[in-house]
Chains A and B, each alone.
Chain A
Amino acid sequence: MANQVQYIFDQENLRKSAPQKFKSEDLKREEMIINIGPQHPSTHGVLRLEVLAKGEEVIEVVPHLGYLHRCFEKHAEKLPYNQIIPFVDRMDYLAAMNTEHAYAMGVERMLGIDKIIPKRVEYIRVLVAELNRLASHFIALGSYGMDIGAVTAFFWMTRDREHIVRLLEWASGARMLYNYIWVGGLFYDLPVGFEERCLEFTTYLKPKIKELERVVIDNKIFIDRTANVGVLPVDLAINYGITGPMLRGSGLKYDLRKVDGYSVYPEIDFDIPVGKGEAGTLGDCWDRTWVRVQECYESVKIIEQCLEKLTGEHKRTRDFDPRALAPKKIRPKAQDFYIRAENPKGETGFFFRADGRSDVPFRCKARGASFVNLSIINELSKGGLISDLIAVIGSIDIVLGEVDR
């Protein structure tokens, strides 16, 4: 198994990753190549788009990736399972807790200890993951507002995100890249007073989301800009493997938190908002944004239920040690294993191949939701204007750390 060839070199592969797909000699009359990115205000990082345009009209979009490639998978092949977690953080750096949660859950299932994890640990994991989902959606909504031209939305959203980031910093010591969820447990228990402060935050937050909805989402100009733009039919979405708010925006009620029912999500009561095409066509940019806003409400609901459990049934006790089950040596049996979980962007998955002899995975392949979701950009934006292309990029909500890994 170890000697199998994983990648076959071929001259053709080089051509596929050439820096330029179109050549200026091949252009037809009135066509031009516009290079958007990697340093562009609205490509959300170091994404480069090669746009074949006819005046303002987009004919084809070719995304070029790799500006943020940090060899996650290669690193993972050289590190013990528990030391990979900080690298996992750096994939989707806006929602590190969610990715950590998925990763830790996968390793635990390989070890077969997932059933004996204490309930308090599971509730804390869901709590921090949902807090981070809120933070990620805030950045998505805020920067989308900025793409459309409403700069104020971004500042409002970062203002509210700051509270979450401080809460998570209090719990884990870091603002963005936490390394908080460990295989078999947690870094630490929640700090004393966290639950109360968190509850204060949720009461503060609900009117703020409403305010955002009123000022940005229901704004006439915002609706004009996003409704009927970048329409994604549900069958196309499934064919491309789109997941997360994008798929739900197209009207399919598919959320891994319900479908797989991992962790303690089955014990929690929450809804899966799906797009209804209220402003325009089903599956347009506005629907995707609306789904994200509704998910914020659902996350608040989940957080409140977690807090109730954490202060009631699974109260903090003096002798509770969240690290008690964390194994010293992680050595799963030889197996192939795939774990998936619902990230704010979509389905985040890890494929492990364990050889059973070492505590280092033989292979750890990550499935990034942003990467898969980005693949549809050409379908969504061709035929539109350049302004629509910007609206589409924002509504996909990519994080380049996860695209390039």
Chain B
Amino acid sequence: MYAFLFFLNFVLIYTIFAVYAERKISAFIQDRYGPMETGPYGLLQTVADLLKLLQKEDIVPLAADKRIFKVAPLIIFTSVFAGFAVLPLTSDFGGSQIETGIFYLLAIVSLDVIGILMAGWGSNSKYALLGAMRSVAQIISYEIPLGLSVVCVIMVSQSLNLQEIVYQQGIFINAIDPNAQNFLFGIKALGIETTHIGGFLTWNIFRIPFFFLAYLIFFIASLAEANRAPFDIPIAESELVAGFHVEYSGFRWAMIMLSEYGMMLLISFLGAILFWGGWNTPLPNIGSVALADWTSGEPGTIAGHLWGAFWLVSKALLTVGLQIWIRWTYPRLRLDQLMNLSWKYLTPGAIILVLVSALWRLLMI
């Protein structure tokens, strides 16, 4: 319950600032100021925009399938927000710690395709329909490399539980398994134990070096999953005007934008949890300079909550910043090139990585 209330408010507030950040970052990239008038440095611009959106008339096109049209934004938002239910924000704070966390997350997030298709189909507009079809084709084909790169992590972690995966990547590894040990690069034969050094050395991405590639695939696929540039062809502004949400206005449109930004955050959280150590601190213990101990609290204590939330949210927001940066730098791919990238490069690459993870796992035990 607490987690629900926390994440709902967190996503709303985050979205307000993410939109502001997006506008400001894009402005700095493009040599302009961005919003400057509303509030100091335009900080209240998004709030003003939100108020405007709330007051707008809720237009439903005459030719639209009204029920489908109206319910679609809700489905999109619900499916994205439901994903937050299994995220371990700190060492023992999170919605649910079910054993099949990742499986649930990937499954529920895929449901937003249905919402998008409903939005595009129900609008009864050619642009919206084309956008929806593109979106479905894109999300379904990118779910495969995304899922396979997650499988790499699962094979190494031997767990579908997100909380357990995070515990394995830090100094509190013994809290879940008293006999567990971490070794440098995960290779037991090297004999360099890092269990109590912690820090970034025990993060998955450093523990298993080739996970850089897996994360790359995960990141590219997650961009496509969140319909972000350069994979924003479903909402390609210069081609389909706004794609599947071209007919939406007012609050329904705001819901769709909210779920787009929520998706960015969710996928960044997931990336941080799977590859970048979750709520674990990046600073290692170096002999008597116990940086890792100082910058992370014992699980269950208040310090543990604060440090954990701080590290995880920082990691996620950095990734969101990276997504924004990429959006304003790259041109957009074409539909067939998008499919090429997914099926010819990312998917085979991810399959090979799954194989390598299996072999690496043998080195770890």
Interface positions of A (Cβ within 8 A of B): 32, 34, 40-42, 56, 145-152, 155-156, 159, 215-216, 219, 221-222, 224-225, 385-388, 390
Residue in B closest to A221 when the chains form the complex, CB atoms: B331
CA distance A225 to B32 in the complex (A): 27
Interface residue B219 (Cβ < 8 Å from any Cβ of A):
no
**Are the C-beta atoms of B30 and A152 separated by less than 8 Å?**
yes
Known A-B contacts: A150-B331, A221-B330. Give 12 more (CB < 8 A).
A146-B238, A150-B330, A152-B26, A152-B29, A159-B30, A221-B331, A221-B332, A224-B334, A385-B334, A385-B335, A385-B336, A390-B238
**Are the C-beta atoms of B239 and A148 separated by less than 8 Å?**
no
Nearest 10 Cβ contacts at the A-B interface? A149-B332, A155-B30, A42-B238, A150-B331, A148-B331, A149-B331, A147-B238, A387-B334, A221-B331, A222-B331
Which of B134, B236, B328, B330 is the most central at the interface, judged by chain A CB atoms within 10 Å of its CB?
A: B330
**Are the C-beta atoms of B330 and A155 separated by less than 8 Å?**
no
Assuming A156-B31, A219-B330, is B335 touching A56 (CB within 8 A)? yes
23 contacts between A and B (CB under 8 A): A41-B241, A56-B134, A147-B238, A148-B331, A148-B332, A149-B237, A149-B330, A150-B331, A150-B332, A152-B26, A152-B30, A152-B329, A155-B30, A156-B30, A156-B31, A159-B31, A216-B331, A221-B331, A221-B333, A222-B331, A225-B334, A386-B130, A387-B236
CA distance A132 to B69 in the complex (A): 48
Q: What's the nearest-Cβ distance from chain A to residue B331, in Å?
A: 4
Which residues in A have their C-beta under 8 angstroms from that of B332? 148-150, 221, 225
Which residues in B have their C-beta under 8 angstroms from that of A387? 233, 236, 239, 334-335
Which residues in A have their C-beta under 8 angstroms from that of B130? 56, 386
Residues 119-134 of chain B, each 1 if its beta carbon lies under 8 Å from chain A, else 0? 0000000110010001
Residue in A closest to B336 when the chains form the complex, CB atoms: A385
**Are the C-beta atoms of A390 and B30 separated by less than 8 Å?**
no
Q: What's the nearest-Cβ distance from chain B to residue A205, in Å?
A: 14
Which residues in A have their C-beta under 8 angstroms from that of B232? 149
CA distance A222 to B334 in the complex (A): 10
Which residues in A have their C-beta under 8 angstroms from that of B233? 387
CA distance A32 to B130 in the complex (A): 11
CA distance A146 to B237 in the complex (A): 9
Residue in B closest to A160 when the chains form the complex, CB atoms: B31
Which residues in A have their C-beta under 8 angstroms from that of B32? 155
Which residues in A have their C-beta under 8 angstroms from that of B126? 32, 34
Interface residue B234 (Cβ < 8 Å from any Cβ of A):
no
CA distance A219 to B229 in the complex (A): 15
Interface residue B337 (Cβ < 8 Å from any Cβ of A):
yes
Which residues in B have their C-beta under 8 angstroms from that of A156? 30-31
Which residues in B have their C-beta under 8 angstroms from that of A147? 238
Which residues in A have their C-beta under 8 angstroms from that of B241? 40-41
**Are the C-beta atoms of B337 and A386 separated by less than 8 Å?**
no
